[in-house]
Structure formats: structure tokens, C-alpha cells
A and B are shown apart, each in its own frame.
Chain A
Amino acid sequence: MTEETLLQVDDLSKKFCRNLKKSLWYGLKDIAGELTSRNVNGPNLRADEFWALHKVSLELKRGECLGLIGPNGSGKSTFLKLVNGLIKPDRGTISVTGRVGALIELGTGFNPILTGRENIYINGSVLGLTKTEIESKLDSIIEFSEIGEYIDSPVQNYSSGMKVRLGFAIAAQMDPDVLLVDEVLAVGDIGFRKKCFHAIDRISKKAAIILVSHAMPQVARVCTKIAVLNRGEIHYTGNDAPEGIRRYYSLFEEQPSLITGNGKAKIHRIELESRDGMGVREIRYRDDLIVHLLLTIDPEIQDPVVGFYFLSQENQVVAQCNSSYHRIPIKNTGNRLQLKVSVPNFNLNPGKYFFSVGIRSANDLEVLELHHAVFAVSVTGGFVGLAPVQFKGDWEITEVKTADQPNN
């Protein structure tokens, strides 16, 4: 029964109001409308209202994990609240099969002056667990949370990490059919994050998951489906995670470039050369890349170091080339220097990167000039992988006959 549809969302819309006073007044009107069974709150927007979600349709089956991504304020949390039944849709329908669990702001309802153990019971009940369920899982909750002997101290003495761990440990005991996860994994140290992923993996086998996150590597790793929301509308939905993530990035402005340094060097020209010639901004995967640089360095700098690097859209340095790592001598007399650096078989994952060039002095490590994210470079290819570096590899495949196998 892995094909069972657990969540069906059709044409879902929800309005919010920018003005607080009006919002409250509309709230009262909506209640009155509901009491008189009239839908005063029709498909039209009233003054100061906007669509927090507009005509969203989705379907999710058991075993699927949907990555819900989008800029801040795009309606992701509103969507989770609607699916969780906390608020009512203004248009469209949501149909959920089975129990909904939510990992949203863990530890909601913790009382600071009660002990961790007491709070387990309270929080468990809030999440819909019965007393017997909590009691049978008490030990595994305490163990998972790694709180140990502090479980009988008041929660106000816990660190924020401890509170989140305890909250997650309780919530992870739910046995939901639909699980909503909202950014909770952003907190906690690496060790705990790994445990959380493990728990989510375990739940995902028998549930449908919606994961809201801004951490794209995480989304790419767990999600089988992507929905990109922008200003309340679905911008992309599909099973191609890298494509979804690319669409997400396209919603943001380009990285601002930044030029810094102490002025003792000057970069005159940065040029990329590839199969299509000089001055390219697009490189085909595994083509050769040549970086041309024209620079002047103050003659008092005897031992300059030149390097360039590629930044991912997540603003992480994913590839680097540096003269000092390979003891390349750059002889400087103060004259103009022309540098040509060849990188054969350029094998970054197809996608968009930002190119940066820097000049330092080897002695005191001061930055002479740095051009950070000067321009964007696209790598094109017939695929988009998960990791920033994609080896092609030389593959050798031979068929092994059963008789040749030593242990069989």
C-alpha cells in the first residue's frame, strides 16, 4: 500500500490582512458569517487583504517526502497550518488521511518551572499521545534527548539545545501518517541533527512528509518531490529536486560583488576562456577552462599569492585554485603581470556559481586585493547532481561468472 494518497490539496487559497485593526474586524465578521452559514468571506479580497496562498494544489503519497521551499513570507508556514487544521482555508479543499504530526517549534507548551519529566507528560498529551503511550516510551524519549540526570530538574535550567532535543524526542515518538517538519533541524549540534535525520528517515517509510527548509543540501538529500512557493503561489512542483532548487535560487537577486583590499595590488582584467572562446560566462561540464588575469602588484611585495575560487548559491566555497598551495613562484617587480591558469576537465556540478579572485602576500597574509563574486558562471550539462563536484570516472565493468566467485 505504498501508493496510497495521504494528502490531497486542491485549489487552496488563504487570505491575510496587512492592517491589524482591519484583520481583527474581518476575523469577527468571518465568525459571524460562519454562524449565519453565509460565506461572507468569499473569493474576493477585501480592503488591505492579500493572498497568503493562492490556488495551491498538491498531492502526496505514503513514502513521499515533499520539500517545500521558497523565500521568507512565501506562504510555507501558512500552508503547514492549513494542513494541520489550525486555520481554515478561504477557498479550496484539503483532505488528509490519518494522523497528522508536526515538528514545528519544538517544546511548545513547556513550562519552565516544571521538570523535564513532568513536561514530557504534558507535551506528549498536547501532541495527542495517551498516558500509556507516553509511559511506554518514556525511557526512549529520555535516552534520545540525551538529557540524562537533568530530566528531574526544572526546564528553565536547560540550555536551549536541551529544550529542543527534549521537544524533538517527544515529537519523534508520534506515529503520524502525515508529518510536517518546519525548520526544526536548523538548531542543535551536528550530532543531534544526524539523529533527527535518522528519525525522519524512519518515519518517512510509513508516512508522507512535508519538509520546510532553507537548507538546500538537506532538501536535496531527503526530498523526493519539490514544491517552490513564491508570494503564495506555486512556482514549481515536480520530482526533479535539482531543478526545483535551481528554480528556488532564480527567485533571488544575484550575489552582490565586493571589491576589497589594501590597495597594494590591482586586478585589471579577469577573463574566462573555454571551448566557445574568450570572455565566456558559461562552461560545459568537463570542458577545459582557462583563467586569464592581468594585474599589477606593488614592488615591495616580494612573494605574492594569487588564487581564485567558486562560490555556490548557498554562498559556500566549493572549488579553489591557489598558487601558494602548489608552491608556484610569482616573481614581482612591480610590472604588469599576465597570468594564465588552465584547469582541464572542469568538473563542477552543472549549476550556477560565482567567481572570485584574490591576491595576498605570503608573509603577513594581508589581502592586497580581492574581487569577491565578481560575476556568475554557469556550468551546463545534461544532468544536475547532488554534490558540487561530479567525477566522471573511468568505469570498468566485467561480468563475473558464478563459478569464479571465491565464496560462493
Chain B
Amino acid sequence: MKNSAPQTIYTPESQLLHPARLLQKMYRDLKNSRELAWRLFVRNLKARYRQTFLGYLWAFLPPILTTLLWVFLNSQKILSVGDTGMPYPVYVMTGILLWQVFVDALNSPLRLVLSSRHMLVKVNFPREALILAGLGEVLFNFLIRIVILIALFLWFQIQLPFTIVFVPFGIMMLITAGITLGLLLVPFGLLYGDIQQGLTLITSLWFFVTPIVYPTPTSLPGNLIAKLNPIAPLLVTTREWMVTGITSQFTVFMAVSCLFFIFIALAWLLYHIAMPHITSRIGA
């Protein structure tokens, strides 16, 4: 009995004063959260689809309908989109699917943490599990939507370029970007309801300043929006890898990727440190 028991000490001082201990704890929590994350992921998935009639069809419907809408608008010359370098339906569909990956990832940390509030104030489980479970859902959603992509590529007889092998990396970067921003929002979003309200509004506006359904304007001031938008190079490059094989913003893509790799570590640190403070503020 003597050897078994590790000691845990809780004090008011900042965890940052003992960086080695903190990093060790973050790593251990991440490791210990894998199994729970899997259970939560499966639970959320089952819960989402068990009480529906159409089941997994719900994953396909929104992107297909949105694409049809934009293709219709374009064909009726209601809006005129410039040269996209690929068939317009392919352009829109790939754009929407990739954008959806980012938005799913962006929303997932706050959504999962909010829906687990009652658990946070009662049970001590590794908080990282919620983030991992959310990550699982984002990946799952994308994987089943790949079916649409395959059908689309066959229909338009797109020759897959060799750069298709880089696409998983692009997807990973979109998810990293989403999770990073999502994680940064969690502490504020748990305390203030404004964040979740605002997030919905912002993502719907963000959609229009990202080259999803029409290409980036090349002249001032329109091109500024795309230049300042960190998601644009990620999305554009991944789409190019997927369809044409010729990248137009590769350097920016790499720069943004490096930044997000640093930021996700910081965001995780913030999340980890903030959790006990948040728990004591939302505790009933």
C-alpha cells in the first residue's frame, strides 16, 4: 500500500511557477483522457443519430443543398463569379466541405465543454477528453462527407493530381486552426453567453470573406480581406492540392501553419489552467 499512492497537492499559487510539473500534468491528462474521449465521442455520435429518422443523411444534406443553391445562383447570373480554375460545382463543394471542417473544429471545444457543465462541477476527469472527443466528431463528419467528394470527382471526371497526398495535412491544419481559436474562446465562452451567440454570427459573416464560393478579389481593397484572413490560405491551398495540383499561396500556408502550431500549445495551456477557475465560477 505504501508504494502505490501518488500524492496530489493543491495550492493557490500559479501553476506556471512550476512549469515542469505543469507540463507533466498536461501530458498525463492528455494520455489518460484517450479512453474517456473515445467513450464520449461514441456517446455523442449515437445520441445524435439514434433519435433521428434520416440518421447519417443529416451529415450530407447541408453541404449538398448549399452547393446546389450557389450553383443555381451562379447559373442564373444572379452573381457572377470569375474564373475558378475548375468546374464551379467542384469549386463550391470542395470549398464548403473544407470550410465546414474549420467551423466544426472552431465550435467543438466550446460546444462540448458547455454541454458537459454538469459533469465539470461534479467529477474530476481529465478535461482534455472533451477536446479530443470533439476532435473525433470533426474528423468523423469530414470522413463521411468524403463520399460526396468522391461522387463529385467521378461525375466531373477530375484527374486527381499527385498533390492529393498532401490533403490530409491541409485538413489537419484547418482543424488545428479551428481547435486553437475554439480553445481560446472556451474560458470566455463558459463565463459569458455572448461568446456563443457572437460565434454563430461571426462564422456566418466569415464565410463570405473566405474564398469558398467565389475566388479572392485580386485588387484593393477586396484582396485585403483575404490577406488578413488566416483561414483563406489554408483553405485555398488544400483545395488546390485536391483538384488542380498547382498551389498559389504555399508560403503563406506554411507561415500560417507554423503560427497555429505555436498557438495551439498556448491555447491548450490556457484551457488547462483556466478550468479550475471556471469550474468555481459556474458551480451551482
Contact = CB atoms under 8 A, between A and B. Distances in A.
Contacts of B4: 98
A81 B43 contact: no
B122 A104 contact: yes
B17 A37 contact: yes
A86 B276 contact: yes
A16 B280 CA distance: 8
B9 A126 contact: no
A64 interface: no
B167 interface: no
Interface in A15-31: 16, 23-24, 26-28, 30-31
A91 B236 CA distance: 51
Instruction: Report the interface size class on chain B.
Output: 35 or more
B28 interface: no
Interface string A38-80: 1101000000000000000000001000000000000000000
Contacts of A118: 43, 46
Interface stretch (B97-105, B187-195, B215-223): B187-195
Contacts of B46: 113-114, 118
Summarize B's interface: helix, strand, loop or mixed: helix
A88 B283 contact: no
A88 B8 CA distance: 13
Interface stretch (A127-135, A157-165, A286-294, A326-334): A127-135
B276 A122 contact: no
B36 interface: yes
Contact of A30 (B10, B32, B50, B277): B277
Given A86-B279, A95-B7, A121-B39, A28 B119 contact: no
The winner among B9, B12, B14, B39 for most chain A CB atoms within 10 A is B12
Contact of A122 (B7, B12, B40): B40
B10 A89 contact: yes
A75 to B, nearest CB: 12
Contacts of B13: 39
A4 interface: yes
Nearest to A42: B12
Nearest to B6: A98
A129 B240 CA distance: 45
**Which among B47, B120, B277 has the highest number of chain A CB atoms within 10 Å?**
B277
B39 A122 contact: yes
Contacts of A34: 14-16, 273-274, 277
B270 A88 contact: no
B125 A126 contact: yes
Contacts of A126: 36, 39, 119, 123, 125
A85 B10 contact: yes
Interface in B114-131: 116, 118-125
A31 B187 contact: yes
A377 interface: no
Interface in A91-119: 91-100, 102, 104-105, 108-109, 111, 113-114, 118
A330 B251 CA distance: 106
Contacts of B51: 113
Contacts of A38: 14
Contacts of A35: 14, 16, 270, 273
Contacts of A295: none
Contact of B9 (A93, A104, A111): A93
Interface string B29-46: 000100110011001001
A82 interface: yes
Interface of A: 1, 4, 6, 14, 16, 23-24, 26-28, 30-31, 33-39, 41, 62, 81-82, 84-100, 102, 104-105, 108-109, 111, 113-114, 118, 121-122, 125-128, 130-131, 177, 206
8 contacts: A27-B280, A41-B12, A87-B280, A88-B277, A89-B12, A98-B4, A102-B123, A121-B39
